[in-house]
Amino acid sequence: MTENETLFGMDLAQLTALCNELGMPRFAARQLTRWLYARRTEEPALMSDIAQRFREQLATRFTTALTPPRRVDRSADGTKKYLFATAQGAYIESAYIPDGERATLCVSSQAGCRMGCAFCATGRQGLVHSLSTAEILNQVVSIPEFERLTNLVFMGMGEPLDNADNVLRALDILTAEWGFGWSPTRITLSTAGVAPQLPRLLDQTKVHLAVSLHNPFPEERAQIMPVERAWPIRSVVDILRRYDFTHQRRVSFEYIVLSGMNDSPRHIRELVRLLNGIKCRINLIRFHRIPSSPFFSPDEETMLRFRDALTARGIHTTIRASRGEDIQAACGLLSTAEQMARSGLSAPKEE
């Protein structure tokens, strides 16, 4: 263990191994989980049912993990964009989205991203570093709205399955009875299609899955999503065909509609062919403009026509409501601006 390691973010197996190493009683690991995740207390000195000598050892070896956001931007529609600093000096974002009785938090898994999607501000940063499990969970528990949250979506900065070990550990802590005890049906993980890690997610968790699709034609998808060259969308779909999505778990496909690029009748026909036999939905997403981007969202009539054509062909299709556009809610914009400001540079302006 290093001097920068934290108790918060450790799962039951890790805490059990730690207790064995220190000669603590077998039940001590469960005591630690109650302090860390039920009471959200990570300072050993406050863990009153742990023997004093063990509290002293823990305090010496571990540092605290929970940190408040550095900044919050508020939208007229109630959306909030939280900016967090990481231990390595980078910045990450989380978006809080209230909608009636539903309150969703969009969580980041990496600072930056190496997937390089052409329509994504985070991809322009490149991968700075993957977040620790504690940094992932800190976004959830360190906002004022934590107790009101009904849903989590791993759709923020980064590719969750490019940080699979820490993301899966975070999901375990979120859903385990010794952790936060959330139902997996309250959590959705979005992936661009990291095929080698996809079975791990589907075998080890019961969370919902969202796949970033954006174009059904491999050569066209590769132009905007380089991940297509490493793990083709057809291989991702083949993996999904091995799993049951007819009961509690749901799979959806995210589709940012780009005017004149992926919104034609031939794209509709190919989507239907690609997803044939999979019980799923397609979420159509309006493109949130990012500086110097060549892409545009189509008009409302095109969005509705695209939705209705897919629905008529048997694929349940919805148009996701745009939220927080006045505070740059699209992933990566706020952190990019903050990073550039700290470097004394000016953020690029939208053309």
Annotated domain spans of the chain:
12-61, 71-342
Catalytic residue selected from 19, 106, 280, 331:
331
Q: Which of 122-126, 230-234, 336-340 is predicted most confidently?
A: 230-234
Out of 93, 159, 254, 338, pick the active-site residue. 93
Identify the pLDDT of residue 293.
83
Q: What is the pLDDT confidence band of residue 339, given thresholds at 50, 70 and 90?
A: low
Domain range 71-342, CATH class: alpha beta
d(CA 172, CA 208): 14
CATH fold match for the domains 12-61 and 71-342: no
Query: pLDDT digits over 133-143, tens only?
Result: 999 999 999 99
Annotated active-site residue 93? The verdict is: yes
Q: Residue 332 pLDDT more than 60? A: no
pLDDT at residue 350 greater than cutoff 50: no
pTM surpassing 0.95?
A: no
The hierarchical CATH code for the domain 12-61 is 1.10.150.530
Whether residue 1 has pLDDT greater than 50: no
pLDDT one-digit tens code per residue, 139-162: 999 999 999 999 999 999 999 999
Amino acid identity at 38: A
* 280 assigned to active site: no
- Convert the pLDDT of each residue in 241-290 to its tens digit: 999 998 889 999 999 999 999 999 999 999 999 999 999 999 999 998 78
